[in-house]
Amino acid sequence: MKQLYESLGISKEVYEYGEGILEALKERFAAIDETAEYNQLKVIAAMQKAHVSAECFNASSGYGYDDIGRDTLEEVYAAAFHTEAALVRPQITCGTHALAIALAGNLRPGDELLSISGRPYDTLEEVIGIRPSCGSLAEYGVTYAQVDLLEDGSFDYEGIEKALRPQTRLIEIQRSKGYQTRPTLSVAQIGEAIAFIKERRPDVIVMVDNCYGEFVERLEPSDFDADMIVGSLIKNPGGGLAPIGGYIAGTKECVERAAYRLTCPGLGKEVGASLGVMRSFYQGFFLAPTVTAAALKGAIFAANVYERLGFKVVPNGSESRHDIIQAVEFGFPEGLTSFCEGIQAAAPVDSYVTPEPWAMPGYDSDVIMAAGAFIQGSSIELSADGPLKPPYAVYFQGGLTWPHAKLGILMSLQKLYEKGHVTLPVKQQ
């Protein structure tokens, strides 16, 4: 094994350091496997309940009327996430798009959108109009308010109480930290906040940005009364196989309103050809619990590898996990770039290219991204990225298999080690 790693470019020192870290993680990995087992059963049960058949994998074209594969898949998502309905489509181009239609479909002029988990994900700033943008919700007369999380990352209940106004129509909660260094919210924490809101304002719609959170825990925010959970299929629920897509799962009313925005008023869910991607949507969802488990192991391994070397890691090496993202703060740009070079060098695809920082649409600073992915930009596949600005934090996520995640992390360390940015602790005898 060591020889094979060496032939891939991992030195003996880096390999042995990694093995030492892994020794201590056995129990946590066993617990992750149990969660995957639970969620796998949940998905199989949903597929059986919805009567998934081989016919569901056929492609439809044109209008896509009566597409049984598409309609059954939406039943599967609704059954797995315990919601009344779901919208799962290749016409949803990404997570931002799914969130945008969930918001635009459910908000009307004069309504207020309230975020209670602080600043939303970068790309949503333009959707909402926090950064002025053509076609934003702000242009349509939807106002925006925000309550930041408290210092310790928990909800500011006093602030939320004060921010609830008669025009508050929809509350957004972002589960994952995104490009921030706050802790990710647990499903239990989100559930508590939903109960708090519903007690005061049962008329308000609660939407959870569930990106990166699916199948990390046994329950989802929809198990706690969220009206909509929203995510991307090139993250967890696509299982690495979905080539495009997003989902919205929630109440029948909310999902239908979003569908009228995705297609158009009057047509809603009734149109939308599935174009031959259904097999990968089903199979990806089927694999998603174990793929998410692989990614989670990678995140925990990375946290422990870099924490022990003195870097700040979020979450830390021993914290419980609520999404698959791992942040490592290097504090200097070469740390971030070397890490990304390592992830790229360990990839099955495009391993021979070197990632460079670049301006990206939707982001306000240069971003470096490493991915040797089968699906462009897929972040359930092993990938790392980070904005080139202090604290030079890398956001690392994904890994379709645990051995690949392990190789990627060892390779990132190898790059830092070779350039003299880290010294490895002497092995204890």
Residues with Cβ within 8 Å of 56's Cβ and at least 6 positions away in sequence, in order, are 68, 69, 72, 73, 278, 282
- Paired with 205 in beta bridges are 170
CB atoms within 10 A of CB 251: 17
If the CB atoms of residues 95 and 357 are measured against ligand PLP, the closer one turns out to be 95
Residues with Cβ within 8 Å of 298's Cβ and at least 6 positions away in sequence, in order, are 326, 382, 396, 398, 399, 402, 405, 406, 408, 409
Residue range at the interface with ligand PLP (CB under 6 A); choices 44-52, 89-97, 309-317, 415-423: 89-97
Q: CB 17 → ligand PLP: shortest distance, Å?
A: 30
- 121 lines the binding site for ligand PLP (CB under 6 A): yes
Q: What is the DSSP string of 349-373?
A: SSTTS----B--TT-SS-EEEEE--
- 178 lines the binding site for ligand PLP (CB under 6 A): yes
Q: CB 417 → ligand PLP: shortest distance, Å?
A: 30
If the CB atoms of residues 178 and 399 are measured against ligand PLP, the closer one turns out to be 178
- 176 lines the binding site for ligand PLP (CB under 6 A): yes
- 232 lines the binding site for ligand PLP (CB under 6 A): yes
Specify the residue for token string 């609704």: 78
Q: CB 97 → ligand PLP: shortest distance, Å?
A: 7
Euclidean distance between CA atoms 325 and 334, whole angstroms: 21
Q: CB 409 → ligand PLP: shortest distance, Å?
A: 20
Distances (CA, A) of 202 to 53, 93, 197, 260, 287: 39, 31, 7, 24, 36
Q: Which of the residues 235 through 274 are near ligand PLP (CB under 6 A)?
A: none
Euclidean distance between CA atoms 278 and 369, whole angstroms: 29
- 94 lines the binding site for ligand PLP (CB under 6 A): yes
- 211 lines the binding site for ligand PLP (CB under 6 A): yes
3-state class (DSSP) for residue 231: strand
Q: CB 69 → ligand PLP: shortest distance, Å?
A: 23
If the CB atoms of residues 80 and 242 are measured against ligand PLP, the closer one turns out to be 242
List the one residue out of 374, 415, 420, 419 whose CA is nearest residue 394. Answer: 415
Q: Which of the residues 122 through 151 are near ligand PLP (CB under 6 A)?
A: 123
- 95 lines the binding site for ligand PLP (CB under 6 A): yes
- 209 lines the binding site for ligand PLP (CB under 6 A): yes
In this chain, which residue has its C-beta nearest to ligand PLP?
A: 95
Euclidean distance between CA atoms 224 and 30, whole angstroms: 26
If the CB atoms of residues 91 and 414 are measured against ligand PLP, the closer one turns out to be 91
Q: CB 93 → ligand PLP: shortest distance, Å?
A: 8
- Name the residues that contact ligand PLP, by CB under 6 A: 94-96, 121, 123, 174, 176, 178, 209, 211-212, 232
